[in-house]
Amino acid sequence: MSRFSHTIDSHVYQFASLKELLAKATPPRSGDVLAGVAAASARERVAAQLALAEVPLALFLNEALVPYEDDEVTRLIFDSHERAAFAPISHLCVGDFRDWLLDDATDTAMLARVAAGITPEMAAAVSKLMRLQDLVLVARKCKVVTAFRNTLGLEGGLSTRLQPNHPTDNATGIAASILDGLLLGSGDAVIGINPATDNVAQVVSLLHLLDAVIDQYQIPTQSCVLTHITNTIEAIRRGAPVDLVFQSVAGTQAANRSFGIDLSLLAEGQAAALSLGRGTVGNNVMYFETGQGSALSAGAHHGMDQQTCEARAYAVARAYRPLLVNSVVGFIGPEYLYDGKQIMRAGLEDHFCAKLLGLPMGCDVCYTNHAEADQDDMDALLTMLGVAGCNFIMGVPGADDIMLGYQSTSFHDALYARRVLGLRPAPEFAAWLARMQITDAQGLLRTALAPAFQAALHRLGSQV
């Protein structure tokens, strides 16, 4: 008899390892089928979920999915685990943990106290037993507040990354997108550019452009050029005005190696940014992006399902106290998340797991044009994430990233979510919007642009 099993209608379903059990219990997604780790049928999946519900949480502290001696992410997970934080839930199995999380008596303060005692694998396991509404309810109770030039993650907030990408990094085009976003109340999480030309000289040029805009208008926000961390470290050495250090991260050492990083390099980038002291209300200087399927696409998933791999990436992120983390949920493509239904499930899982682990989680609510998804699917996911207390989303002109070639959320989508759910930007940014007469006393956009802002637009235009 295998270590894990469950019987349905006299058929005994057996699972040889904790890794296999987690994979078979995962709700359907194309990436797990591609990897050959998915359940063969809905009945096998249910059997795996029922078996997983009986697994003690303590087992995850005794059994590594990737060997400790072979993987620095595994070592980070085990070495940073806080036994005292784990104590209140140490007697629970995965199914009981689900019930505890959903209990009204388990409040925000309790979730914050146990966060450091929850491993990524525990979070992934319990998410596999949850419906979408369960993921939303628990994530909503998790509050993670971070700060740099403004304060993000406060109760009732929904922030946006203003994403003014341009296919040729044209300064005028980037500036026009930035101003468009600011006029529509976007940009409090970060004004962040994915550079089309990824070299240090171009990165430095874009950083100076962003710094000039923020300084010109005295905007209480932060900037970031989403280049490789080695480029950002070199830009800091050259005296560039770096606010946040960006890097994509994954859940295994081998996957991170495919990105050209390791944990020591992340620590070096964090230290370099902290040395600049550019934050005014806080010193969270890191920005991480993740996404289900990245480890599989690198051939570095070690036989794990993609959602468990993704949760392990959050252990990497939380080690460096980031200002921002987001899952680019539908960006990799239908090979990993086939359609709108799978993208929605993955987005809510990612948000839930990261928040449970104590991360300031956002989401790029997105899809590629060859996926079986459309903007209606994104509207549904956006709304559920807003209800779930997502820290931030993307603001892309027209929801169409013309440089990266994928579909995301627009400035207007963020306005919709804020209005329908009664949410607002970071308080410092909201005050700036009011001071610049972009919004009125109720926080709604004004129909006419204030003369002071019109003059500022002309000044910036002449400078560009």
Q: Could you list the residues known to form a binding site for substrate, using ranges.
A: 161-163, 194, 289, 364
Q: Tell which residue, 455, 410, 418, has the closest CA to residue 436.
A: 455
| Cα angle 385-88-67, degrees, rounded to a multiple of 5 | 75
User: Which pair of structure tokens corresponds to residue 195?
Assistant: 């550079």
CB 371 within 8 A of CB 338: yes
CA quadruple 106, 107, 112, 113: dihedral sign: negative
Q: Which segments are annotated as binding site? A: 161-163, 194-195, 247, 289, 297, 364, 403
Residue 414, CA distances (Å) to 291, 398, 453 in order: 21, 12, 22
User: Which pair of structure tokens corresponds to residue 459?
Assistant: 């000044």
Strand partners, 7: 12
Residue 212, CA distances (Å) to 216, 218, 283, 359 in order: 6, 9, 21, 30
The structure tokens 């059994």 sit at 63
Q: Tell which residue, 232, 156, 218, 224, has the closest CA to residue 192.
A: 224
Beta strands 190-193 and 159-162, pairing class: parallel
Amino acid occupying residue 407: Q
Q: Which segments are annotated as binding site for adenosylcob(III)alamin? A: 195, 247, 297, 403
Total H helices, total E strands in the chain: 21, 14
CB 239 within 8 A of CB 248: no
Q: What is the rounded CA–CA span in Å between residue 261 and residue 249?
A: 8
Q: What is the rounded CA–CA span in Å between residue 98 and residue 125?
A: 10
Q: What is the rounded CA–CA span in Å between residue 104 and residue 127?
A: 18
